[in-house]
Amino acid sequence: MRKIVLFFVFAAFGIAAFTQNYVHRVLVLNEGYFDFMTGEVVTPPSIGAYDPATGEYALLNELEEARFISGIAMDESHYYVSADGHLLKYDRYTDELVTSTSLTGIRKLAVWNEQLIVTRGEFGIELEDYIRVLDKNSLATIYTIPSATMPYTTEGIVVYDNNAYIAVNNGFVFGGEVGMLAVLDLAAAAITATIDLGPNGINPDNIMLDGDVIYTLNNKDYSGSSVSSYRVSSGDLSTNDLINVTSGCGTSALYNSEVFYQDFASTAITRYDPETNEILEELELGNNLYGLTFDAINERFYAGVTDFFSSGTLYAFDLDGNVLDAVEVSVSPGTIALDVRTATGIEDVAAVTAIQIFPNPAAERIVISSAEGRVRIFNAAGNLVAEQLSNEGNNLEMDISDFSAGLYLVQVTRLDGSVSTANFIRQ
């Protein structure tokens, strides 16, 4: 009877722990190099992918007709890329181009249900609209917010509670920058509010969402920067200057309710608490960053470094600023996005090659027989407690002496994307 009960405990735990999110790959948008003096695309923009399991980078697509690339959004089956007047829809699993359309001044993207929200802006051109909503399947226009309603160029987007919050900066009109959030009711297809970020909130360059709090990093007139905080539930708004920024911020990102940013002229990244308006830490990275994103699943961050005309590198850092990996990409890796997937499904578990763990139960060490890939161990609460790469054809030995007694699940993600799981008991 005990064996039967134990079997069902193992099976239930295996299914529960198997539904784990993991970073399948890191998508990198390289802006390339356009020579404004000659009008020549020297290095075309491109899309590449970095595999965290192997440390390898692969070029997916080059955009030979574009001068630059600016935004990406994903849904369950596709990713959408904006590049110099082009909107491109790719299959998320094959990276094949599905369809595309032309749209002058396209900037940033966000997905809501079957719709794709698009912001717009272009130097020296007045557009008929600066916010447009498309059908994400056909890329046809559903509706626009005409420039008579929103006369300023727009930038980043976050979606919360069926509303799109859009950073309005008029950034393509030098000296005419503004600072506000436009609230687009996606069900009503209308702007329902415009929130002024205040005199120090001019030129929001990045917009970030944390629960019901929206943060913007504002570059003002490039003589300094500020962070605005807007809580949707209460309407509370604050804007605070960043005292250690003297020129503007080249990049910023949100992690664990803190804003990380870097001054244009700095090689250190600052960790800032917007709730207390305190600088918590400055991490010296030795590089001026161009793109930045955080991987909360694996507790690391990725950053792009470039000389803007001949080279680009993608770095992986731990949270203390130590370099975990660095790979050559292309010129100006300015946008970095995580392709997060969920390892789930009983059919998937049954279809993949089994792995074996011995001894089992164990107290000090276990040996895992598996194909090449990333090995993760989860405890009964579903928390990741260990992670390591294994080599094809070899048995992987892992130290479990520091683990608490109990049931654990081992998950192996192979290079072809297949996943195997097995349980063991730590005595």
Q: Which two tokens stand for residue 353?
A: 């090659």
Q: How high does pLDDT run on average in the chain?
A: 90
Task: Give the model's confidence band at 370: pLDDT under 50 very low, under 70 low, under 90 confident, else very high.
Answer: low
Domain of 310, CATH number, reads 2.130.10.10
- Same structural domain for residues 206 and 121? yes
Task: Give the model's confidence band at 397: pLDDT under 50 very low, under 70 low, under 90 confident, else very high.
Answer: confident
Instruction: Check pLDDT > 70 for residue 11.
Output: no
Q: Which of 317, 342, 367 is the last residue of a domain?
A: 342
- Same structural domain for residues 324 and 369? no
Instruction: Check pLDDT > 60 for residue 324.
Output: yes
Instruction: Check pLDDT > 80 for residue 369.
Output: no
Q: Which of 326, 342, 358 is the last residue of a domain?
A: 342
Task: Give the model's confidence band at 107: pLDDT under 50 very low, under 70 low, under 90 confident, else very high.
Answer: very high
Q: Which of 293, 313, 342 is the last residue of a domain?
A: 342
Flag the least confident range among 120-124, 219-223, 405-409, 420-424. 420-424
- Same structural domain for residues 269 and 370? no
Domain of 9, CATH number, reads 2.60.40.3080
- 60 and 47 Cβ atoms separated by less than 8 Å: yes
Flag the least confident range among 134-138, 139-143, 249-253, 422-426. 422-426
- Same structural domain for residues 335 and 375? no
Task: Give the model's confidence band at 312: pLDDT under 50 very low, under 70 low, under 90 confident, else very high.
Answer: very high
- Same structural domain for residues 269 and 412? no
Domain tally for the chain? Answer: 2
The string of pLDDT tens digits covering residues 218-274 is 999 999 999 999 999 999 999 999 999 988 888 999 999 999 999 998 999 999 999
**What pLDDT was estimated at residue 176?**
95
DSSP H or E run through 9: helix 2-18
- Same structural domain for residues 323 and 362? no
- Same structural domain for residues 274 and 326? yes
The rounded percent of the chain whose pLDDT value lies above 90 is 71
**What pLDDT was estimated at residue 352?**
41
- Same structural domain for residues 382 and 416? yes
**What pLDDT was estimated at residue 236?**
98
Instruction: Using a cut of 0.85, tell me whether the model's pTM lies above it.
Output: no
- Same structural domain for residues 273 and 394? no
- Same structural domain for residues 219 and 111? yes
Structural domain span for residue 362: 2-18+346-426
The string of DSSP codes covering 113-182 is TTEEEEEE--TT---SEEEEEEETTT--EEEEEETTT--S-EEEEEEETTEEEEEE--TTSTT----EEE
- Same structural domain for residues 351 and 206? no
- 405 and 368 Cβ atoms separated by less than 8 Å: no
Task: Give the model's confidence band at 367: pLDDT under 50 very low, under 70 low, under 90 confident, else very high.
Answer: confident
- Same structural domain for residues 262 and 382? no
